[in-house]
Structure 1
Amino acid sequence: MAVKDEIEDRLTAAFHPSLLKVVNESHRHAGHAGDDGTGESHFHITIRAEAFRDMPRLARHRAVQKALGDLNNRIHAIALDIG
């Protein structure tokens, strides 16, 4: 399964988002540090969910990282837009 699909599955299961957009931006980082050559190293995630409503920004980021679990070891960089 592609990393993008795994991200979508895990975040959907954890937060039941009203909006989830996962964009693979690895091509923009080809040859840079952290590029492992898989084409699945850098992602931009936009997520909106009721679960985040009363959470401070840092708690939102931690919740997403926790939901991603071991994927954090396979991804070099994640840009998050959480609301």
Structure 2
Amino acid sequence: MPIAEEMRARLEAAFAPTELEISDDSEGHRGHAGYREGGESHFSVHIRAAGFAGMGRVARHRAVHAALGDIVPRIHALALDIGT
């Protein structure tokens, strides 16, 4: 299963987001550290969910990282845009 699909499944299960966009930005990093031929090395996630209400920025990031679990060490970069 592609990493973006795994990410989507885990984030939907953990947060029931009202908005979720996952972008594989790997091609824009060709020639840079961590780039892998075929992509799946650099991702951006835009997520909005009621469950993030009352959480600070660091807590939101930790929650997303926890939900993604073993995916995080398999990628080089993860940009997060998290809100309610």
Q: How high is the TM-score relative to the length of structure 1?
A: 0.96
What is the SS of the residue equivalent to 2:34?
Answer: coil
CA distance in structure 2 between the aligned counterparts of 1:30 and 1:73, rounded to whole angstroms: 19
Tell me the residue number matched to 1:7.
Answer: 7
- Report how far residue 73 of structure 1 moved: 1.1
Tell me the residue number matched to 2:49.
Answer: 49
Tell me the residue number matched to 2:81.
Answer: 81
The percent identity for this pair of structures is 54
**Cα RMSD after superposing both structures:** 0.7
CA deviation map 1:20-49 (0-9, x unaligned): 000110000112101132410001100000
Map 1:25-64 onto structure 2 (within 5 A).
Answer: 25-64=25-64
CA distance in structure 1 between the aligned counterparts of 2:23 and 2:41, rounded to whole angstroms: 11
Ranges in structure 1 where 5+ consecutive residues have no aligned partner: none
Q: How high is the TM-score relative to the length of structure 2?
A: 0.95
What is the SS of the residue equivalent to 2:68?
Answer: helix
Ranges in structure 2 where 5+ consecutive residues have no aligned partner: none
> Segments of 4+ in structure 1 off by > 6 A?
none
CA deviation map 1:31-81 (0-9, x unaligned): 210113241000110000000011000000000000000001111101100
